[in-house]
Structure 1
C-alpha cells in the first residue's frame, strides 16, 4: 500500500485510494464515514467513480500546527478500512 504524503505547506497528510469499481468506492466511503463519526474527526474528502482523495489536517487548527502521532495513527487506521 502506498504511504501517506506529508506536506509542509499547508501542514497535512494526503493520500489517493483507487478502486476497481464504483461500488467498491462507495463501500470505502461508507466505512470511512462511520469511522469518522466514531472518532469525531472529519478529513477533507474528494472522490470520483474509482478513487478517493483524503487530506488530513492536524487536530490543532493553529498557524504553527504540526502533525502528531495521533494524526499518523488516524491515517493508519484509515488504511485499515481497505478490504
Structure 2
C-alpha cells in the first residue's frame, strides 16, 4: 500500500511541483487538481505499475487517494 501511496504522490508532484510530500489519503482528486483526463492517465499508470485492473464500474467509488489505495490493495491481496 505504501508503494501505491508513493506512486500517487509522485503523480501529483509531476502535475504540481509545489507538492513535495505524500498527499493525504483523505484528499480528493479534485482537491489535488486532477481533472478527468489526468485521472484516466493516473488510473492507467496505476494499473500498469501494480498489475491490477480497475473496471469502469469501480470509478464512482474512487474519489480519494485512500479509495484508490484501498482498491489496489484489495485487488492485489
TM-score class, shorter: 0.3 to 0.5
* TM-score scaled by length of structure 1: 0.34
Which structure carries more strand by proportion? 1
Q: Which has the higher contact order (CA 8 A, sep 6+)?
A: 2
* TM-score scaled by length of structure 2: 0.36
Which structure carries more helix by proportion? 2
